[in-house]
Amino acid sequence: MALRLGMPVGFFAVTGRPLLTIPTDQTFFRSLRRTSQMDRERAAAHAVLLAELVRLIESRVKLPVYDVPSDLTVDAQDPPERAEVIADQLRDSWELGQEPIPNSIRLLERHGIVVARLPLLTGDVDAFSSVVPARPLVILGADKGVRERSRRDALHELGHLVMHHADPEVASPPLERQAERFSSALLFPATAFRDEWPEGRRIDWAKLVSLKTRWGMSLGALLYRARDLEVISPTGYESAVKYMSKKGWRTREPGPSGSPEEPKLLRDALGMLIDNRVDLDALFEDGGLPSADQLVALLQVEPRQRRPLVAV
């Protein structure tokens, strides 16, 4: 197997520690109907490799403490509005106030969640999270070119880690609706939303583009949030969506967007090892992992470039 796959023998012959596994039935994929068992197993295999890398890094580098509150759980019987309360409580716990979140991925990383963008092999597996490893993982697709959608993906998975870690019901429609409501509420709290939503019966699209830029939410997500909070009626929402379709904005929205946010935690940790003259290939070989070049190719986690020496 090692020769066939170009991997070190130690990767398949783990000794001295338990073999890490991530069961697909304890991993939050958005829809079991759209993802085949093979696709889920491939994605979970990437997550296992990532978790092994994290475990090896943590033997040398101290990563941020995982401090996601453990007492904000909900179950499938709770309405989506319950997620609104949980998002507000998390904002209080993390001292976020009522201001926009500048970078959703950096928020997760600061609180000890490992985030990575991986080539997930299929468009149907666009993001998932796992509560199984000692340090939970959030995996985002590597081909997401829309910044606002990627931010919602990251916070959707955070919602699962916050609310559903105790008793995960994978691909449960009620839990998915809760995670969606959580991500919207965390991105744009209800109080701030009602204060900043433009007055008047007609949609002020210029103002919505301004809100999109300030809060990092797409126009479609802003309209959906307005409907959830009953700021606009269901009929008003439908009319606005039809207008967006007519203008071609469902495919390409107006206003600035920018590139998707990128994970930084593991890249910086690997860079610290390089700064301290650690031979990554030797370290990975001792840990039964592929070479550094192989890991970069498989996981798209390229170390931060070593800082140049400056004469003083």
Instruction: Tell me if 52 sits within 8 A of 41, measured CB to CB.
Output: no
* Best CA proximity match to 289, nearest among 3, 51, 8: 8
User: Which pLDDT band, with edges at 50, 70 and 90, does 309 fall under?
Assistant: very low
On whether the CB atoms of residues 89 and 155 are closer than 8 A, the answer is: no
What is the amino acid identity at position 80? P
Q: How far, in Å, CA of 289 to CA of 282, rounded? A: 10
CA angle (40 as vertex; 39, 43 as ends), nearest 5? 85
> Residues for the chain: how many in total?
312
The answer to whether the beta carbons of residues 79 and 47 sit under 8 Å apart is no
What is the Cα–Cα distance from 248 to 258, expressed in whole angstroms? 19
Structure tokens at 228: 């959830």
The string over 1-30, giving b where at least 16 C-beta atoms fall within 10 Å of a residue's C-beta and e elsewhere, is eeeeeebbebbeeeeeeeebebebeebbbb
Task: State how far the Cα of 220 lies from the Cα of 14, in Å rounded to an integer.
Answer: 48
Over residues 276-287, mean pLDDT: 87
How far is residue 294's CA from residue 147's CA, in Å, rounded to a whole number?
28
**φ, ψ dihedrals at 164, nearest 5°:** -120, 15
CB 184 within 8 A of CB 202: no
Condensed to tens digits (0 to 9), the pLDDT of residues 209-267 reads 999 999 999 999 999 999 999 999 999 999 999 999 999 999 899 988 888 999 999 99
- The confidence band for 312, taking pLDDT boundaries of 50, 70 and 90, is very low
DSSP letter at 128 equals E
Residue type, 307: R
Mean pLDDT of the chain: 84
Mean pLDDT, residues 100-111: 97
Bridge partners of residue 73, in order along the sequence: none
Interval 289-298 mean pLDDT? 78
Least confident of 17-21, 110-114, 126-130, 295-299: 17-21
Exposed / middle / buried, residue 235 (Cβ in 10 Å: 0-12, 13-18, 19+): exposed
